[in-house]
Structure 1
Amino acid sequence: MEPTEFATFQKDASLGLVKLVKTAKTLSSGDIAFNKSLDAEFSTVLDNTNTKVLGLINDLVRNATDGSDIKFENFEDADSVETRWSVISEVVDFLLEKADMCMDEYTGTVKRGIMQTTAAQSNYKSARTEKRAAEGRKAFNKSLHMAKPQLQFKKPLSPLDSGPHKPRLEKKPHAIKPLEDSLVPTIVDGREKYPHPYLEEISQYKFPDRVRKEAEPIQYKPFESTSAIFVDSSELLQEMVQELLKAEEIAVDLEHHDFRSYIGLVCLMQISTRNQDWIIDTLKLRDELEVLNEVFANPNIVKVFHGAFMDIIWLQRDLNVYVVGLFDTYDAARSLGFTGHSLAFLLKKYINFDADKSYQLADWRVRPLPQEMLDYARSDTHFLLYIYDNMRNELIGKNNAAEEDKIETVQNNSKETCLKTYDAEPYDSVNGSGSRGWLSILKHNAVNFTDEQFAVFKAVHAWRDRVAREEDDNPHFVMSKNHLLNFARQMPVDAAAALSVSNNPLLRSKLADLVSTIKEAKANPVPFSSVQHLLVTAGKYWSPQPKDAKKEGEEGLSIMPMLGAGDAGAKTEESQFWAGTFGGSRWEVKDLVTGVNDISLALPLPDLTATVLEGPDSCETQPPIRRADYIKDRGVKPETADIVVIKKLGGGRKRKLEDVAEDAQHDDDESDADTDSPSSQVGASAGVISGDVDKEDELETVQLSKLDKRAARKAERKRKKAEAKRRSAQGDDFQEDGGDDDEKKGEFQAFDYASAPSIINAKKESESKAFDGSKKYDGGPKGMRARRREKEGKSSTMRA
């Protein structure tokens, strides 16, 4: 492909990939399984497509792994793609690495150039950022199933040993206190523990006087024009020790591996002086490196580390080496108040060197080590002494008699780091404590197990730790955290179900034991509520607080306020606003957290009085009354059986309070004047409901008896009007007939058929007149408002 055609190809490929992803998402959003069950043809087409896609995936992965150490076996089905997704990830990493190599070749940066190292502020290109050679890529992608180096150790540390770690020193160079007196065990927190063998020497240590004197930084030698000596034999080791004893300062760093080891192991040590770099094969010389105590325990030699906290422990555990006279550049960076404290930050600040951590997580057990990895390791210490010189001068320059001695601060912090000791951490199956306990997983993952799931979680976690110790592997290699949680959620009780959760080769070899463990745990559930209080205490606003009301030896938990009130004494036993009106402001959380009681309102409120809205004069003369007491002591209005009409059928009108009062007064007058009238009778019968209520209460609520009285009066007025109309009509007939009422009273009048309308041929009104829902029929409520039909043409809005 021509370079000019690549841009077009890239654009078309990107567009096609976007369309493919969109189509795949659209298909996956539908109920494919349901459609397969309905349509046999669709099911057949889908199965054929799946087979074709799976074949394409196998072909692509197989072709991509050509030229690599990745061993690939075809995916059997879609589920195997998901369970073996780590293979896809490894292949993608290899392809990206290959693409990086091709880009370097294309741009011409694959050849190493000569770096100018004469000036301190030259912009260096690290050897680690250059192209990795073929052997480097092989080491980076090395299979994790290589032979374990710890099997060849003469004195290996057993992961099954949970007892105290005893230093294996055979002699103690530069001792102030003899070795025999330094290894007397003591009891600490109920466990036997051996003291630091150089405790006395480190406690009395002080930096040499030259450290407190400002001096010109000594320029390091060019990285490219120098090389490191790889120490892998006893002869080279002795030669290196003799050279180190001549130095005043040395820079030290370690490379560690812990993914295929339960305890971990130091794989490499880098040591640099002003003139030479050494790289020591600590796997091969592990049992011989105690001789380094001649240098590392020498108080006249300053040992410069960066972030030595774990390095100190690893040296003790694996190599039986102890450090006296540490200068930690990490502590110096903190004392100087730098914005960054990492080694990469210091390299950029003092050398303008861009550190590359590409090999930081590489498998350092690989032998032989490729040159790129050796360069990576050497650069960590090659520049460190020059950084030490600059930081020492800055610490001296910032010393002030009125303030702390920064050199002294770095010395004290470095001494504390040196006094750290290694101790084997026992597994706590009950409480799950420790860095590898099950409690740390629950604290960092939002899970809500049932009792059975929690029992399975604890059992599988303990099984994982036991297998990891037996196999001397990292627990995460035996079973990842996600697989552990999935085992707890799904609780598989057969081999097929367990393999669907994790297809780890190590698990397959111990599958029967794992399934048996799950079955036993599932049959013996453990209450998940028993640990919820431990999870709550890990939260941001919870802390253990002793309660006076608790029995001796018990502890309660209380919530720290979220509004910044750090004083726990600000909590009240009851609300100062509501007091005990609603049973207090305290609430129980027994259902939420077992053992957590007495959670109180953490925000105190001022007392509110019942006379807060009165004038200032009345407030001065009357003592303040708490609102809670006012509510508690206030008289309760007697309940009545009055019925309040919310809305009357057919609508009604709003009436003011004055009209209601006038109607009530008018009702009383009418009832006194005419007790025999129907309105009075209705009012009397309805008034029984209201009872003896005060006039003020009658004006506050419109009662049913009043409504009935008004309705009765209205009906009475209509009746009187109808009666008057009837009488007036009778009076007119009497006048036309000459008043002969007695003759008309009993006379029979015949029906006039001639003038009567036809019934048979009568035109039905319903045939000519359609029903109108907007009109009122049979005395019922009015219907909906008639809707005006839209005419053709422009609407009313548009015409306007």
Structure 2
Amino acid sequence: MTSSSAELDSLLQHYASQPDLRAGIDLEADNLHRYAEQLCLIQLTDGDRFDLVDPLAVEDLSAFGRFVEHATIWMHGADFDMTLLRREFGVLPAMVLDTQIAARLLGVRQFSYANLVNQFFDVELPKGSQKANWGQRPLPEKMLAYAVNDVRYLLPLAAKLEDALREKNRYDWFIESCRAAMARIEARDGVREDPWRIQGAGKLDRKGLCYLFHLWTWRDREAAEWDRPPFMVARNKDLITWCRELAAGRTPQLTRNIRGSRLERFRAAVEAAAQTPAEQWPKRRKGGGRRWESEQEARYDELAKARDAAAEDLDLDPAVLAPRAVLESLVWEDAPNEDLLLPWQRELLGL
């Protein structure tokens, strides 16, 4: 385990000496165990060796940021790891190639890393550490072995996927898709607008949204003080259910962990929402509950039919060509953003 700046510098000299400056990387964080997640482990491979870096022990990680900024990095399901890299180091790799994107473009329906390793190498990876607390020290041997396995097959898998993509003439689609994934991460400013508008909020009326704003704020403060993820205080679906009940004038059935002083603060949040004048209730977002006209339904059906036919011909999940939300935006928006679809997707859909 690399645990000092000097050791990290020496390790990165090896990786920087690779002819094509490529590496496989995976990251572990403690987002399931703390309010403010931290980077807890870095796994690297060049295909022949597997290295673990302890970010909690290394005094200065900046050398790692400088390395990835100029490297081509293979990852699996890279969105979370790219977000973590950008937050920790302020940069993304020169190029991120994602084995999950590659697998989906090949028509693979079960595309978790473990499923792909099993499919391509007939190896069943042990489970059990994915949701473990990576912030604990020392890390148990079981977790260290799990961490190494997360990159052991990454570059051999990448090679097989690249060959298959080129054989099917889909490698250009893959590069476009990976660049688009990187661009989405770069476009995020780190601050989500109205983070309290969680999944299910669109089904609440304005009064329910008012309760949601106050209860989400209550939950966030409880989680921060406790230093635990918000879902440990209350799950999103519970917040939505409680807000629906409160907006209807009913008393919600709370979970057992809402008691004592936490219950008192919950009741204060409910009272603050109840006392909010109706004109100050949050507005529902545009598009919620919109009514489809026959012309829009016909256009959507036309697009969906073209997508499904192309997907069947290519043996792809239709969502790979165009998710439902994208088709709806193409139908509803007067001047839909061209970035909704990549060039290869537009070509296949005849747009």
TM-score (norm 2): 0.69
Asked whether the 8 Å contact 1:323–1:418 carries over to 2, the reply is: no
User: Aligned pair in 2 of structure 1 residues 273, 461: CA closer, same or farther (>3 Å)?
Assistant: same
CA displacement 1:410-438 (0-9 Å, x = unmatched): 2332233334235332563xxxxxxx423
| Matched-pair identity in % | 23
Q: Which residue of 2 is the match for residue 278 of structure 1?
A: 51
Q: Which residue of 1 is the match for residue 65 of structure 2?
A: 293
How far apart, CA to CA, are the structure 2 residues paired with 1:326 and 1:255? 17
Is 1:566 the counterpart of 2:299 in the alignment? Answer: yes
2:129 is aligned, of 359, 368, 373, to 359
Q: Secondary structure at the match of 1:501?
A: coil
Asked whether the 8 Å contact 2:31–2:229 carries over to 1, the reply is: yes
CA displacement 1:760-789 (0-9 Å, x = unmatched): xxxxxxxxxxxxxxxxxxxxxxxxxxxxxx
1:311-326 correspondence to structure 2 within 5 Å? 311-326=81-96
Is 1:501 the counterpart of 2:260 in the alignment? Answer: no
Amino acid at match of 1:380: D
Amino acid at match of 2:273: A
How far apart, CA to CA, are the structure 2 residues paired with 1:567 and 1:323? 38
Asked whether the 8 Å contact 2:200–2:240 carries over to 1, the reply is: no
Q: Which residue of 1 is the match for residue 27 of structure 2?
A: 254
Asked whether the 8 Å contact 2:3–2:54 carries over to 1, the reply is: yes
How far apart, CA to CA, are the structure 2 residues paired with 1:563 and 1:423? 33
How far apart, CA to CA, are the structure 2 residues paired with 1:368 and 1:261? 18
How far apart, CA to CA, are the structure 1 residues paired with 2:171 and 2:237? 46
User: Aligned pair in 2 of structure 1 residues 233, 290: CA closer, same or farther (>3 Å)?
Assistant: same
How far apart, CA to CA, are the structure 2 residues paired with 1:362 and 1:561? 50
Cα offset for 1:321? 4.7
Is 1:409 the counterpart of 2:164 in the alignment? Answer: no
1:530-545 correspondence to structure 2 within 5 Å? 534=285, 537-538=287-288
How far apart, CA to CA, are the structure 1 residues paired with 2:78 and 2:300? 38
Q: Which has the larger radius of gyration?
A: 1
Is 1:520 the counterpart of 2:290 in the alignment? Answer: no
Asked whether the 8 Å contact 1:269–1:280 carries over to 2, the reply is: yes
Bigger RCO (CA 8 Å, 6+ sep): 2
User: Aligned pair in 2 of structure 1 residues 309, 483: CA closer, same or farther (>3 Å)?
Assistant: closer
Asked whether the 8 Å contact 1:455–1:525 carries over to 2, the reply is: no
User: Aligned pair in 2 of structure 1 residues 476, 525: CA closer, same or farther (>3 Å)?
Assistant: farther
Asked whether the 8 Å contact 2:41–2:55 carries over to 1, the reply is: yes
User: Aligned pair in 2 of structure 1 residues 266, 490: CA closer, same or farther (>3 Å)?
Assistant: same
Asked whether the 8 Å contact 1:560–1:566 carries over to 2, the reply is: no
Asked whether the 8 Å contact 1:454–1:527 carries over to 2, the reply is: no
How far apart, CA to CA, are the structure 1 residues paired with 2:233 and 2:123? 39
How far apart, CA to CA, are the structure 1 residues paired with 2:192 and 2:276? 24
1:379 is aligned, of 134, 146, 149, to 149
Give the length in aligned residue pairs: 293
Asked whether the 8 Å contact 1:454–1:528 carries over to 2, the reply is: no
Amino acid at match of 2:196: G
Q: Which runs of 5+ in 1 are unaligned?
A: 1-229, 400-405, 429-435, 492-496, 543-556, 569-800
How far apart, CA to CA, are the structure 1 residues paired with 2:281 and 2:292? 18
Q: Secondary structure at the match of 2:97?
A: strand
Q: Secondary structure at the match of 1:368?
A: coil
Q: Which residue of 2 is the match for residue 480 of structure 1?
A: 235
How far apart, CA to CA, are the structure 2 residues paired with 1:323 and 1:337? 27
Q: Which runs of 5+ in 2 are unaligned?
A: 302-351
CA displacement 1:616-637 (0-9 Å, x = unmatched): xxxxxxxxxxxxxxxxxxxxxx
Q: Secondary structure at the match of 1:322?
A: coil
User: Aligned pair in 2 of structure 1 residues 520, 309: CA closer, same or farther (>3 Å)?
Assistant: closer
User: Aligned pair in 2 of structure 1 residues 427, 472: CA closer, same or farther (>3 Å)?
Assistant: farther
Is 1:235 the counterpart of 2:1 in the alignment? Answer: no
Coordinate RMSD, CA, aligned: 3.6
How far apart, CA to CA, are the structure 1 residues paired with 2:220 and 2:202? 18
How far apart, CA to CA, are the structure 1 residues paired with 2:201 and 2:234? 16
User: Aligned pair in 2 of structure 1 residues 440, 525: CA closer, same or farther (>3 Å)?
Assistant: farther
User: Aligned pair in 2 of structure 1 residues 362, 530: CA closer, same or farther (>3 Å)?
Assistant: closer
Q: Which residue of 1 is the match for residue 191 of structure 2?
A: 425
Q: Which residue of 1 is the match for residue 327 of structure 2?
A: none
Amino acid at match of 1:290: S
Amino acid at match of 1:462: T
User: Aligned pair in 2 of structure 1 residues 253, 426: CA closer, same or farther (>3 Å)?
Assistant: closer
2:196 is aligned, of 433, 437, 448, to 437
Cα offset for 1:478? 3.0
How far apart, CA to CA, are the structure 2 residues paired with 1:440 and 1:252? 31
1:317-716 correspondence to structure 2 within 5 Å? 317-399=87-169, 406-419=170-183, 420-421=185-186, 422-426=188-192, 428=194, 436-438=195-197, 440-443=199-202, 451=207, 455-469=210-224, 473-481=228-236, 483-485=238-240, 488=243, 489=245, 501-504=254-257, 508-524=260-276, 526=278, 534=285, 537-538=287-288, 557-561=290-294, 565-566=298-299
CA displacement 1:45-77 (0-9 Å, x = unmatched): xxxxxxxxxxxxxxxxxxxxxxxxxxxxxxxxx
Asked whether the 8 Å contact 2:24–2:46 carries over to 1, the reply is: yes
Q: Secondary structure at the match of 2:25?
A: strand
How far apart, CA to CA, are the structure 2 residues paired with 1:440 and 1:240? 43
Q: Which residue of 1 is the match for residue 74 of structure 2?
A: 304
Q: Secondary structure at the match of 2:291?
A: strand
